[in-house]
Structure 1
Amino acid sequence: MADDIVSVTRNGLRQEARDLVELAASEEAVAELLRRGLDWLTRVVRFDLATLFLLREGKLVAVAARGPLASDKVRRHELKLTDFPTLRQALETRRARAFTQEDHSHGDGDPFDGVLDLPPGHSCMVVPLCAGESCYGLLTLDRTECETYPRELVELVEVYGQMLATTLQETQQKSTLERLHRREHEHARLLEAQLGGDEVGVLETSRSAAVRELARRARQVAETETPVLLLGETGTGKERLARAVHRWSPRAEAPFVTLNCAAIPAGLLESELFGHVKGAFTGATRDRAGRFQMAHGGTLFLDEVGELPVELQAKLLRALQEKTFEPVGSDRTVRADVRILAATHVDLQQAIAQRRFREDLFYRLSVFPLRLPPLRERLEDLPQLCVALLEEQARRTGRRGVKVTAEGIVRLAAYDWPGNIRELANALERATILSRKPELGAESFDLPLRAPGAKAAAEAPPLVEGAVPTLEEVQRQHILRVLTLTQGRIYGPGGAAALLGLKPSTLQSRMKKLGITRLEQYVAVTPNLEES
Structure 2
Amino acid sequence: MGRHPEVTQDARELVELATTEEGVGELLRRGLDWVSRVVPFDLATLFLLKEGRLEAVAARGPLANQAVRKHSLQLADFPSLKQALETRRARAFTEEDHSHGDGDPFDGVLDLPAGHSCMVVPLCAGERCYGVLTLDRAQCETYAQPVVDLVEVYGQMLATALQGAEQRATAERLHRQDHEHAKLLESQLGGDSEGILETSLSPVMRDLSRRARQVAETDTPVLITGETGTGKERLARAIHRWSARADQPFVSLNCAAIPAGLLESELFGHVKGAFTGANRDRAGRFQMAHGGTLLLDEIGELPVELQAKLLRALQEKAFEPVGSDKTVRADVRILAATHVDLHQAIAQKRFREDLFYRLSVFPLRLPPLRERREDLPQLTVFLLEEQAKRTGRRGMRVSASGLTRLASYDWPGNLRELANALERATILTRGQELTAQSFDLPNGERAREVPGSGAVEETPAPLPAGAKVPTLAAVQREHILRVLTLTRGRVYGEGGAAALLGLKPSTLQSRMKKLGIERLEGFTAAEDA
Give the TM bin, normalised by the shorter chain.
0.7 to 0.9
Q: 1:365 aligns with which of 336, 359, 365?
A: 359
Say whether the 8 Å CA contact 2:96–2:115 is kept in structure 1. yes
SS across alignment from 1:200: helix
Q: Which runs of 5+ in 2 are unaligned?
A: 448-456, 482-497, 516-529
1:446 CA drift (Å): 2.5
Answer yes or no: is the 8 Å Cα contact 2:230–2:369 preserved in 1.
Answer: yes
2:12 is aligned with 1:8:
no
The answer as to 2:41 corresponding to 1:38 is no
* Deviation at residue 216 of structure 1 after TM alignment: 1.8
| Cα distance change, pair 450–16 in 1 and its aligned pair in 2 (3 A) | farther
Offset at residue 468 of structure 1 (A): 9.2
Alignment of 1:388-467 (within 5 A): 388-448=382-442, 450-453=444-447, 454-458=457-461
Distance 1:20-1:274 versus aligned 2 partners, 3 A rule? same
Query: 1:370 aligns to what SS in structure 2?
Result: strand
CA distance in 2: counterparts of 1:331 and 1:419, whole angstroms: 44
After superposition, give the CA deviation of every residue in 1:159-184 in whole Å (9 maximum; x if it has no partner): 11111111110111111111111112
The answer for the alignment partner of 2:223 in structure 1 is: 229
1:277 to 2:281 alignment: no
Partner of 1:503: none
Give distance in 1, aligned partners of 2:286 and 2:345: 25
- Match of 1:395, SS state, is helix
Q: What SS does structure 2 have at the residue aligned with 1:52?
A: strand
Q: Is the 8 A contact 1:418 1:451 kept in 2?
A: no
| TM norm structure 2 | 0.85
- Contact kept in structure 2, 1:231 and 1:343, CA below 8 Å: yes
CA positional deviation for 1:420:
0.7
Residues 272-292 of structure 1 show CA distances to partners (whole Å, capped at 9, x for unaligned) of 212223333333333322222
Q: CA deviation at 1:423?
A: 0.7
1:249-264 matches, cutoff 5 A: 249-264=243-258
Normalising by structure 1, report the TM-score.
0.84
| Corresponding position of 2:454 | none
Task: Classify 1:467/1:157 alpha carbon distance in 2 versus 1 (closer, same or farther; 3 Å).
Answer: same
SS of match in other structure, 2:193: coil
The 2-side partners of 1:198 and 1:84 are apart by 61
**Aligned-partner Cα distance in 1 for 2:52–2:182:** 38
What letter is aligned with 1:162? Q
What is the alpha-carbon distance in structure 2 between the residues aligned to residue 284 and residue 143 of structure 1?
A: 59
Residue in structure 2 matched with residue 90 of structure 1 by the alignment: 84
Deviates most, 387-396 or 26-35: 26-35
Matched residue SS, 1:457: coil
Shift of 1:459: 8.2
Match of 1:124 in 2: 118
State how 1:28-177 maps to structure 2 within 5 Å. Answer: 28-177=22-171
Paired with 2:296 and 2:462, the residues of 1 have a C-alpha distance of 40
Report the AA paired with residue 169 of structure 1. Answer: Q
CA contact 2:319–2:328 (8 Å) conserved in 1: yes
Change beyond 3 A, Cα 1:400–1:16: same
Deviation at 1:316, TM superposition (A): 0.6
AA in 2 matched with 1:315: K
SS at match of 1:470: helix
Q: Distance in 2 between matches of 1:268 and 1:147?
A: 71
Alpha-carbon distance, 1:300 to partner: 1.3
1:371-390 to 2 correspondence within 5 Å? Answer: 371-390=365-384
**Is the 8 Å Cα contact of residues 129 and 139 (structure 1) preserved in structure 2?**
yes
1:277, 1:46 → 2: CA distance? 50
Identical positions, percent: 74
Which consecutive unaligned segments of at least 5 residues does structure 1 have?
Answer: 489-509, 516-532
Alpha-carbon distance change, 474 to 405 in structure 1, aligned in 2, over 3 angstroms: farther
Instruction: State the secondary structure of the residue aligned to 2:461.
Output: helix
Q: CA deviation at 1:209?
A: 2.2
For residues 53 and 184 of structure 2, what CA distance do their matches in structure 1 show?
Answer: 40
CA deviation after TM superposition for structure 1 residue 380, in Å: 1.5
Listed one character per residue, the Cα deviations across residues 449-500 of structure 1 (whole Å, up to 9, x for unaligned) are 543224232289xx9xx999537869999xx99xx99xx9xxxxxxxxxxxx
Distance 2:261 2:479 in 1: 56
How far, CA to CA, are the matches of 2:203 and 2:396 in structure 1?
28
Partner Cα distance (1:410, 1:64) in 2: 75
Kept after mapping to 1: 8 A contact 2:445/2:459: no
Write the distance in 2 (CA, Å) between the matches of 1:219 and 1:68. 62
Contact 1:126 1:139 in 2 (8 A): yes
What is the letter of the counterpart of residue 323 of structure 2? G
2:224 is paired with a residue whose SS is: strand
- Note closer, same or farther for the CA distance 1:216–1:456 as it changes in structure 2 (3 Å cut): closer
Cα distance, 1:14 vs structure 2: 2.6
SS of structure 2 residue aligned to 1:341:
strand
Corresponding residue for 1:315?
Answer: 309
Give the partner amino acid of 2:326. Answer: R
Distance 2:393 2:82 in 1: 60
The 5 A counterparts of 1:190-205 are 190-205=184-199
State whether residues 90 and 96 of structure 1, in contact with CA within 8 Å, keep that contact through their aligned partners in structure 2. yes
CA–CA distance in 1 between the matches of 2:137 and 2:288? 55
Counterpart for residue 525 of structure 1: none
Task: Report the number of matched residues.
Answer: 478
Give me the whole-angstrom Cα distance separating, in 2, the residues matched to 1:313 and 1:468.
Answer: 53
CA, structure 1 residues 281+471, in 2 after alignment: closer, same or farther (shift >3 Å)?
A: closer
Amino acid at match of 2:98: H
Check the 8 A contact 1:62/1:75 in 2, yes or no. yes
2:121/2:151 contact within 8 Å kept: yes
* CA–CA distance in structure 2, aligned partners of residues 295 and 163 of structure 1: 36
- For 1:253, give the aligned amino acid: D
- Does 1:470 pair with 2:474? yes
Question: Which is worse superposed, 411-420 or 267-276?
Answer: 267-276
Residues 257 and 299, structure 1, Cα contact 8 Å, conserved in 2? yes
Tell me the CA shift for residue 234 of structure 1.
0.8
Task: Give the whole-Å Cα distance in 1 for the aligned partners of 2:199 and 2:23.
Answer: 45
Using the alignment, how far apart are the partners of 1:294 and 1:24 within structure 2? 25
Partner amino acid, structure 1, of 2:225: L
Post-superposition Cα deviations, 1:126-163, rounded to whole Å, max 9, x if no partner, equal 11101111110000111211111122221111111111
Return the letter of the residue paired with 1:470: A
1:327 counterpart (321, 325, 333)? 321
Distance (whole Å) between structure 1 residues aligned to residue 352 and residue 301 of structure 2 = 12
Identify if the C-alpha distance between structure 1 residues 329 and 145 changes in structure 2 by more than 3 Å, giving closer, same or farther: same
Contact kept, 8 Å, 1:476 with 1:514, in 2: the verdict is no
- In the alignment, the residues of structure 2 paired with residue 438 and residue 118 of structure 1 have an alpha-carbon distance, to the nearest angstrom, of 82
